[in-house]
Amino acid sequence: MLIAIIAVYSDVRHHYFVWDTIPFVLENPWIHEWSVNNLIAMFTQAHEANWHPVVLISHAIDITLFGYDSGWHHLTNLLLHAINSLLLSWLIFGILQQGEVNVQTGIWTAFLTGLIFAIHPQHVESVAWVVERKDVLYSLFALFCLIAYLRTDADYRITNHLGVFVFFCLSVGAKPMAVTLPVIMLLLDVYPLNRISNFASLVRALLQKLPYILISGIVVLVTLTTQSMAMPSAENLPQWAKTLNAIDNTWFYIAHYLWPLELSPFYPYPQEISYITSPAFWLPGALFLTISVLLTGWFALKKMMFWPGLLLAFYLVTLLPVSGLIHVGPAKGTDHYVYLSTIPFSLLTALVIVTLWQKHKNVRVPVAALTGFYLLFLVVIANFQVQVWNNPVSLWTRVVQLHPDDPFGHRNLASGYAEIEAWDMALFHAQKSIELGSPDQNYLNRLRAHIDNLSQSHD
């Protein structure tokens, strides 16, 4: 697994700081020196409309150890991602063992799940973008939290759950998406822990989750308050448009997981609101939700299997905070949102491979060949995606290739070219962004003035 991770991500040690890393990290006033006041500020104040004190502490440690060498900051992300891949294998093995799957099947399924997670191109964004330290760090503590929860017994003693609670607090302190962990614990209570069999046991399980729910509620309030200061791009969208976008996103991310050839660092929101009402926009997500719920209900009524519904619930619950119902910023979605959410699909893929291998000896050769091809495909595409995140020009060039009519991409590509003093290209893309509807005329004016000053100084 580690060899595959290195094959995909080794080049991140040469990557530059990109996009909003400068305002989020390098210009953060609290992480450049250690002091009591700075630590208090990390926990009591928001920076760039985000509250994530645990992440800020990790950046402060990086700066203390490595200064402002971008390569080392990226390697920290990579280290955390590698640990997460191993932790996921550990978690899946624990779940399968609780579900009475035999040891050999459990080991191979857990290993393959972790391997697919480690090299899937959809996760590159979380590793190759220093700002998304949030993803890999909150996931680290979330996975530890769930592993610890599997090891608790059903008596709900406080001391028995102390480690679970500590990991939960660290996870929500790294990224608010961890507020869904209490619901995931409830899903584990249903299966494989089998702690919920009647109404009384459900009430007991809910009461045990009250401390987690309380912390989650506080974090949600803090997040909504701080993010009200974020980009207002979608504030004027009616709620029905946000809802349709959220429905579309349920399939949007699965499609990217299944076919990760056109992953973009930025997915622009539809420029015409009328398009959102088109069935071409929302119907795939609506069909996915409808079919999934019907199949899950059918399995439940027939008392055949709980796990299909639980896997679907895991995906939808973990996606809910970033589904688009509460929309902030100019993007309709972004792949780093589903760093953990798509785990069920990696698990399903691994289960299919292992089951075919063990139960159908006559197809072992094609199964091995197809599995090897699939893993190689993921490595190649993920490595390509890593190169996209190398520097601002490579990043925004890819966005413009995939979304040539988006003004935001051209505006940021202009800025990337300006950083390397490629003034003709910077001016071209700045003008293009205005032609496509960007309101940032001031940037174009400043760029022209700067180029004129340079010309005069050379004269």
Please give the full DSSP string across 291-305, using - where no structure is assigned: HHHHHHHHHHHTT--
C-alpha 263/C-alpha 265 separation (Å) is 7
- pLDDT value of residue 394: 98
99-157: pLDDT as tens digits: 778 899 999 999 999 999 999 999 999 999 999 999 999 999 999 999 999 988 766 66
**Do 405 and 320 sit in the same domain of this protein?**
no
C-alpha 291/C-alpha 54 separation (Å) is 39
- pLDDT value of residue 262: 93
**Do 411 and 280 sit in the same domain of this protein?**
no
Please give the structure tokens belonging to residue 240.
């029905």
Q: For residues 379 and 274, which has the higher predicted lDDT (pLDDT)?
A: 379
- Radius of gyration in angstroms for the set of CA atoms belonging to the chain, rounded to a whole number: 23
Q: How many CA atoms lie within 13 A of 434 on its CB side?
A: 13
Average pLDDT (232-257) is: 82
State what percent of residues in the chain have pLDDT above 70.
94
**Do 298 and 429 sit in the same domain of this protein?**
no
Q: Kind and range of the H or E element at 29?
A: none
For 427-457, give the secondary structure using H, E and C. HHHHHHHHHCCCCCHHHHHHHHHHHHHHHHH
Tally helices (H) and strands (E) across the chain.
22, 2
- pLDDT value of residue 304: 58
C-alpha 448/C-alpha 149 separation (Å) is 59
**Do 314 and 414 sit in the same domain of this protein?**
no
- pLDDT value of residue 305: 63
**Eight-class DSSP state of 16:** P
Q: Please give the mean pLDDT across all residues of the chain.
A: 90
* β-sheet bridge partners, residue 331: 268
Cα torsion 366, 371, 373, 374: sign: positive
Q: How confident is the model at residue 428 (pLDDT cuts 50, 70, 90)?
A: very high
**Do 325 and 441 sit in the same domain of this protein?**
no
Number of domains in the chain: 2
Give 194-247 as a DSSP string.
---SSHHHHHHHHHHTHHHHHHHHHHHHHHHHHHTTS--TTTTS-HHHHHHHHH
**Do 212 and 85 sit in the same domain of this protein?**
yes
Look at 135-149, 212-226, 232-246, 389-403 and tell me which has the smallest mean pLDDT.
232-246
Per the CB < 8 A criterion, the answer to whether 364 and 119 are in contact is no
**Do 373 and 426 sit in the same domain of this protein?**
no
**Eight-class DSSP state of 269:** P
C-alpha 68/C-alpha 160 separation (Å) is 41
The structure's pTM equals 0.93
- pLDDT value of residue 48: 84
The domain containing residue 439 runs over which residues? 393-458
**Do 299 and 329 sit in the same domain of this protein?**
yes
- pLDDT value of residue 133: 97
57-72: pLDDT as tens digits: 999 999 999 999 999 9
Residue with tokens 């909150």: 138
Residue with tokens 């504030």: 235
**Do 372 and 407 sit in the same domain of this protein?**
no
C-alpha 150/C-alpha 120 separation (Å) is 26
Look at 189-203, 297-311, 355-369, 413-427 and tell me which has the smallest mean pLDDT.
297-311
Query: Which domain-ending residue is among 347, 363, 390?
Result: 390
Give 149-185 as a DSSP string.
HHT--TT--HHHHHHHHHHHHHHHHH-GGGGGHHHHH
Residue 456: pLDDT above 70?
no
Q: Please provide residue 268's backbone torsions phi and psi, each rounded to the nearest 5 degrees.
A: -70, 145
Look at 19-23, 322-326, 406-410 and tell me which has the smallest mean pLDDT.
322-326
Residues in Cβ contact with 188 at an 8 Å cutoff, skipping those fewer than 6 apart: 95, 146, 149, 150
- pLDDT value of residue 329: 67
Query: Which domain-ending residue is among 390, 411, 430?
Result: 390
Give ∠ CA 369-371-375 in degrees, rounded to 5: 120
Per the CB < 8 A criterion, the answer to whether 145 and 85 are in contact is no
Q: How confident is the model at residue 355 (pLDDT cuts 50, 70, 90)?
A: very high
Look at 47-61, 169-183, 264-278, 410-424 and tell me which has the smallest mean pLDDT.
264-278
**Do 399 and 274 sit in the same domain of this protein?**
no
Q: Kind and range of the H or E element at 31?
A: none
Q: How confident is the model at residue 328 (pLDDT cuts 50, 70, 90)?
A: low
4-29: pLDDT as tens digits: 999 999 999 999 999 999 999 999 99
Q: Strand ranges (DSSP E) for 330-430? A: 331-333
State yes or no: cis peptide before 192, omega within 30 of 0. yes
Q: Residue 406 sits in a domain of what CATH number?
A: 1.25.40
Q: Kind and range of the H or E element at 279?
A: helix 279-301
Q: Please provide residue 282's backbone torsions phi and psi, each rounded to the nearest 5 degrees.
A: -100, -15
Q: How confident is the model at residue 390 (pLDDT cuts 50, 70, 90)?
A: very high
**Do 112 and 144 sit in the same domain of this protein?**
yes
Look at 18-27, 117-126, 197-206, 445-454 and tell me which has the smallest mean pLDDT.
445-454
- pLDDT value of residue 92: 97
- pLDDT value of residue 164: 95
Residue type, 181: L
C-alpha 203/C-alpha 156 separation (Å) is 13
**Do 339 and 421 sit in the same domain of this protein?**
no
- pLDDT value of residue 444: 81
Residues in Cβ contact with 278 at an 8 Å cutoff, skipping those fewer than 6 apart: none
Query: Which domain-ending residue is among 363, 390, 417?
Result: 390
Residue 296: pLDDT above 80?
no
Residue 440: pLDDT above 80?
no
* β-sheet bridge partners, residue 267: 333
